C-alpha cells in the first residue's frame, strides 16, 4: 500500500508539472461566455410597425436610405440591454406615432441557454422588462446581464456637452459590471432630490431644521463616498486601456489624458455638506457631492473640445468606446454586443477599417452595423473572415 501511495503521488506531481508547462506554453485562458442575439422582433417601436430579424452570430448590417429606421433597429437592441433608448430616454416618445404601445423582444443564446428578453411600454402605464416571462421588480437588476457598447455620432456629446454626459459615461461602464455601484447611485440620486426639495421647502415656508438636513447629509455621505471610491478605482484601471487604444488608432504623437475631477478629492462629503449649509439654503439646491464630478478629456495638456482637431476628436471618442468594450469584456468574461451606428459616413476609411478589423478574430462577439450604402458596407465586411448578413430596409416613415 505504501508503494502504491508513492507511485500515485509521483504520478500527480508529474501531471501537475506537465500541465503547468502546457498552460504557460500555450497560454490557456478561461473561455469567454458566448452571447448571441439570435432574433429580434419589434412592434410599434419608433417608426417601425412590425419587423422580425434572424441574425448571424457574427456580423449584421442594416442598410438603406436615411430615415428608413436603421438606427432605430440598433436602438431597439440597446433597449434590450439597458431598458431604455440610447437616443431618447423618454419612453412615450419611442412609441410609434398613432399607436399607444411598443414591444421589443429579443431571443438570445448565452452560455448555451436560451434567454428571452421583452421590453414593453404602454401610454399611461409603467414600462415592463421581462426575462423568460418573469418581470423584473427593479430594472437595475437587468443592467449588465447583456453587455453592450454602442459607437454613434451622438458620442460627440461626450466632448461638447456638460459634465452630466461624461458622468453618465462613467456610470454606464461601471454599472455593467458592478450592481452595487448602480444601486448606490440610484439611492444617492433619490436622497439628493429629497434634500433639494427640503431646501426649497425651507425657503418657501421661512423655516429651517438642521436635524432633518443632517439625516440627508449622512445618507449622501455614505452613498457618495462609495461611488467616489469606485469611480476613482475605475479611472485608474481604465486610463491605461484607453491610452493603448488611442495609440493603436492614431497616427499622431499627441499626448492624451483622462482626468477625474471631484470635490471629494479635497474633503470628505459630510464635511463639505456641513460647511456649506448657508450656500445650499440660498441656492435651494445641493452644491457639493459626486453629482458635480467631471471627466476632463485632454490632448497635449489642453481640453480636446477646444484644442483637438476633428480627426483627433474622432479618434479620442473611438478609443473611449473601445476601451469601454475591453473593460466590460474583462470584467464580465463576455464579449459585449457592439453597435456601430452610421460609422461609414462619419469616419474616414482608416478608422472604419480599424473598427471592422476588430471582428476578424474568433474571440470577438456579435456586431451590428447601420449604413446608407449596401455596396460599401459589404465590400468592407468581405475583407474580414467572418460570416455576415445584410438587411436592406426601405419604404418606411422618417425616423
**30 annotated as belonging to a binding site for a ligand:** no
Q: Is 64 known to sit in a ligand binding site?
A: yes
In angstroms, the CA 305 to CA 296 distance is 10
CB atoms within 10 A of CB 108: 21
CB atoms within 10 A of CB 222: 16
Q: Name the grid cell of 14.
A: 508529474
3-state class of 269 per DSSP? helix
Is 206 annotated in a binding site? The answer is no
Is 65 annotated as ligand-binding? yes
Half-sphere exposure of residue 177: CA atoms within 13 angstroms, side-chain side: 20
Set of cell numbers at residue 282? 440660498
Q: Binding site annotation covers 67?
A: yes
- List Cβ<8 Å contacts ≥24 apart for 155-158: 155/317, 155/320, 155/321, 156/313, 156/317, 158/297, 158/317, 158/320
Alpha-carbon distances, residue 350 vs 150, 329, 357 (angstroms): 19, 24, 11
27 labelled as ligand-binding?
Answer: no
What are the binding residues?
64-71
What are the binding residues for ATP?
64-71
Amino acid at each position: 500500500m505504501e508503494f502504491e501511495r508513492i507511485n500515485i503521488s509521483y504520478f500527480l506531481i508529474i501531471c501537475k508539472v506537465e500541465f503547468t508547462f502546457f498552460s504557460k506554453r500555450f497560454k490557456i485562458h478561461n473561455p469567454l461566455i458566448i452571447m448571441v442575439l439570435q432574433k429580434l422582433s419589434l412592434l410599434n417601436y419608433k417608426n417601425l410597425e412590425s419587423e422580425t430579424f434572424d441574425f448571424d452570430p457574427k456580423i449584421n448590417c442594416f442598410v438603406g436610405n436615411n430615415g428608413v429606421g436603421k438606427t432605430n433597429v440598433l436602438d431597439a437592441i440597446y433597449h434590450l440591454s439597458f431598458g431604455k433608448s440610447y437616443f431618447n430616454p423618454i419612453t412615450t416618445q419611442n412609441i410609434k406615432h398613432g399607436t399607444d404601445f411598443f414591444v421589443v423582444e429579443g431571443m438570445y443564446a448565452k452560455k448555451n441557454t436560451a434567454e428571452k428578453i421583452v421590453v414593453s411600454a404602454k401610454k399611461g402605464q409603467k414600462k415592463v422588462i421581462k426575462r423568460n416571462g418573469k418581470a423584473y421588480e427593479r430594472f437595475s437588476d437587468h443592467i449588465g446581464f447583456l453587455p453592450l457598447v454602442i459607437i454613434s455620432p451622438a458620442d460627440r456629446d461626450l466632448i461638447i456637452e456638460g459634465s452630466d454626459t461624461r458622468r453618465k459615461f462613467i456610470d454606464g461602464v461601471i454599472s455593467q459590471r458592478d450592481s452595487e455601484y448602480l444601486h448606490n447611485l440610484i439611492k444617492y440620486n433619490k436622497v439628493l432630490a429629497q434634500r433639494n426639495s427640503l431646501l426649497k421647502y425651507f425657503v418657501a415656508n421661512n423655516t429651517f431644521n438642521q436635524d432633518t438636513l443632517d439625516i440627508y447629509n449622512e445618507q449622501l455621505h455614505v452613498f457618495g463616498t462609495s461611488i467616489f471610491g469606485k469611480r476613482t478605482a475605475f479611472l485608474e484601471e481604465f486610463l491605461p486601456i484607453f491610452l493603448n487604444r488611442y495609440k493603436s488608432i492614431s497616427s499622431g504623437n499627441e499626448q492624451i489624458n483622462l482626468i477625474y475631477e471631484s470635490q471629494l478629492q479635497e474633503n470628505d462629503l459630510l464635511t463639505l455638506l456641513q460647511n456649506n449649509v448657508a450656500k445650499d439654503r440660498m441656492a435651494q439646491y445641493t452644491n457639493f457631492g459626486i453629482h458635480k464630478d467631471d471627466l476632463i478629456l485632454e490632448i497635449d495638456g489642453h481640453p480636446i473640445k477646444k484644442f483637438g482637431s476633428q480627426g483627433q476628436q474622432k479618434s479620442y471618442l473611438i478609443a473611449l468606446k473601445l476601451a469601454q468594450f475591453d473593460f466590460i469584456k474583462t470584467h464580465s468574461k463576455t464579449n459585449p454586443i457592439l453597435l456601430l451606428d452610421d460609422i461609414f459616413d462619419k469616419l474616414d476609411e482608416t478608422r472604419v477599417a480599424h473598427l471592422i478589423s476588430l471582428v476578424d478574430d474568433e474571440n470577438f462577439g456579435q456586431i451590428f452595423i447601420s449604413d446608407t450604402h449596401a455596396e460599401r458596407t459589404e465590400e468592407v465586411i468581405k475583407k474580414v473572415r467572418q460570416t455576415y448578413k445584410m438587411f436592406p430596409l426601405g419604404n418606411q416613415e422618417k425616423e
